[in-house]
Amino acid sequence: MQVRLFALSTCPYCRMAKRFLDDGSVQYELTEVDSLDGQEKDDAIAEVREISGGASFPVIVVGDEVIVGFNKKRIKELLDL
């Protein structure tokens, strides 16, 4: 199952989400939105808005499911951790 994490480098919940996925040895694609520049950054923000309906982080995508925020219980369920 493809897992993506959209994060901000400044956001404590994003750091928690990273640690949690790393500890569970989950492979995921990380997009650190505020570390991008110019068009890449605009594109990433547009994608987050489309996926999550907002610009609040972290946004975790597991297959077709979207989790906004570090909802540990929901991540565990979806990834069978």
Partner 1 sequence: MSAAFPRRRFPEGTTVEDLRSYMEPFVRQLGYRFNDDEEFVAEVLGSEIEILDSAGDVYCPCRVRSGNPKEDLKIVCPCIPFYADQFAKLQKCWCGLFVRTDVEDGSELHGVIEVPEGPADVPVALADEFPPGTLRTVRLGKRDVALARVGDEFFALGNVCRHAFGPLGQGFLDGHTAVCPWHGWRYDVRDGTTDHPGADVATYPTSVRDGYVFITV
Residue 65 has φ and ψ, to the nearest 5°, of: -90, 145
**Of 5 and 33, which has the nearer Cβ to partner 1?**
33
**Of 2 and 56, which has the nearer Cβ to partner 1?**
56
Residues at the interface with partner 1 (CB under 8 A): 8, 10-16, 33-34, 45, 48, 55-57, 68-72
Structure tokens at 65: 């499911």
* Minimum separation from the CB atom of position 72 to partner 1 (A): 6
**Of 55 and 81, which has the nearer Cβ to partner 1?**
55
- Measured at the CA of 18, the angle between CA 5 and CA 59, to 5 degrees, comes to 30
d(CA 38, CA 79): 33
